[in-house]
Structures are given as C-alpha cells and as structure tokens.
Amino acid sequence: MTTIWNDLLNLFDPRLCQLCKKTLLPEERELCLHCLCDLPRTYYHRRDDHPLLPIFAGISSFRHVTAFLFYREGGCVQSLIHSFKYRGNKQLAERLGRMAALELKADGFFHDVDVCVPVPLHRRKQRTRGYNQAEWIARGLAEVYHYPVDTQTLVRAVDTDTQTHKSAYERRMNVAEAFRLSRPEQFADKHVLLVDDVLTTGATLLSCIDCLMRIPRISISVFTLAFTM
C-alpha cells in the first residue's frame, strides 16, 4: 500500500533532482546519482598545500580546514546553496553535509572532533529565515560522525550587513566583535569544528575564531560546504 501511495504522489507531484530536474529514483534524495557524482569536489582534505590554509595561518589553536565543493557564480553549487539558503530547502543542506561527512570520514579527516558548532545567525535573521542553514549542514555531519551539535555557546550578538559585494577588509570590519560566548566553559579542552556554508575571504569564520580563542586550551577546525574560487 505504501508503494502504491508513493507512486500516486510522484505522479501528481514528482520528486525531481535539484539540478537536472529529472525524476528521482525511489532510493535517491534531492539529487540524482549522476549529479551527485558530478559535483565539483575540492578534495582539499587530501592536500597539505591548499589555498584555505593561508587564511588561518598563525592561529595557534587552529588544527584543520577543508571545503567540500567549489563554488562558482552561476554554477551548480550556487544553485544548491541558494535552494537551502533562500528557498527553504533545509533538508538539502543536511543531505550535503551528510554526504561530505561520509567522504571525509572514509579518509580519517576530523576524526578527533569533540563538538560541531554552526556559525550562528543573529536571532532576527534566523527568525525571518526560519532556520540557520549552517546548523542543518552541521546536522548532516553530526549524523555520520556522531558529534554533538552546539547552537548555544557561540552567539551572534550583532546583526551585521550582508557580506556580498564587500572587499576583504570591509568583510573583516563588518563582523568584528559580532560574536560572543554564552557559556565558554563548555568548550574548554575541546576540539571544536566550526561549520559554515560558503567560505570566501574567511572574515566571518576568523571573527568566530577570535571569540573562541578566549577559551582555555581550545582546538579549532573549520568545515565549509563550499569555497569561492
């Protein structure tokens, strides 16, 4: 009966791939297998010299950083991110986070993380959007790695302007002192994985790290779903 009901639903409201718009097979979710395989992966976690490392160079408590996909203007990754960031498809963010985690975990990356921390939105922006897309990416990671996800300790205290169209310096100034800690003792002696959707200049993540580094003996790593070339 369940199969018949699903077939009827697909007849009137077909499940389509987010990218190619072909009908999904019953075992496929959000993206068809072909589009999943064709996503432009960075594989930065397998390299010792990738371009994200200089962004965080010199931070004593910093451990690892990687981005899962390349982001290009008008490309497929932009389409996916706009879908979960602006069109309410938070399940897609979770799905992509889970897919990234499966590949990273298979290579032994981020194996010693204690807690996953999505870059927070200001409460006003989260209320308007209804959710934090970084949190849903983090949920996908946590499902595979079995990390706890903490959304309470790192707080966005300032509702900053959008970073789009700002220079690297303007981005850094825009988010300076934007974050605060509500219960820093939670992260003492912990390896914290910061999670965000897209890394461009790293200004937001660096501001988060500035805040977190006030915590004794903390270690910090970064995962972003995509990196802007």
pTM of the shown model? 0.87
Residue 11: pLDDT band with limits 50, 70, 90? very low
Residue type, 211: C
Q: What is the pLDDT of residue 8?
A: 43
**What is the C-alpha to C-alpha distance for residues 22 and 15, in angstroms, rounded to an integer?**
8
Whether residue 108 is predicted with pLDDT greater than 50 in this model: the reply is yes
- The tokens describing 125, both together, are 């922006």
Q: What is the pLDDT of residue 12?
A: 46
Domains (range + CATH), the chain = 41-228 (3.40.50.2020)
Contacts of 211 (CB under 8 A, 6+ apart): 154, 179, 180, 181
**What is the C-alpha to C-alpha distance for residues 10 and 7, in angstroms, rounded to an integer?**
5
- How many helices, marked H, and strands, marked E, lie in the chain? 8, 6
Kindly write down the DSSP assignment for every residue of 27-87, as one continuous string: T-BSB-HHHHHHS-B--GGG-SS-TTGGGGTT-TTEEEEEEEEEE-TTSHHHHHHHHHHHS
Q: What is the pLDDT of residue 1?
A: 47
> DSSP class of residue 165?
T
Q: What is the pLDDT of residue 34?
A: 92
Count of CB atoms situated within 10 Å of the CB of 104: 21
Task: Report the pLDDT averaged over residues 83-97.
Answer: 93
Q: Are 104 and 45 in contact (CB under 8 A)?
A: yes
Count of CB atoms situated within 10 Å of the CB of 225: 27
Q: φ and ψ at 122, to 5 degrees?
A: -65, 145
Q: Are 100 and 41 in contact (CB under 8 A)?
A: no
- Helix 133-145 crosses helix 76-86 at what angle (to 10 degrees)? 110
Contacts of 52 (CB under 8 A, 6+ apart): 44, 65, 66, 67, 199, 202, 222, 227
What does the mean pLDDT of the chain come to? 88
> DSSP class of residue 104?
H
Task: Report the pLDDT averaged over residues 28-34.
Answer: 89
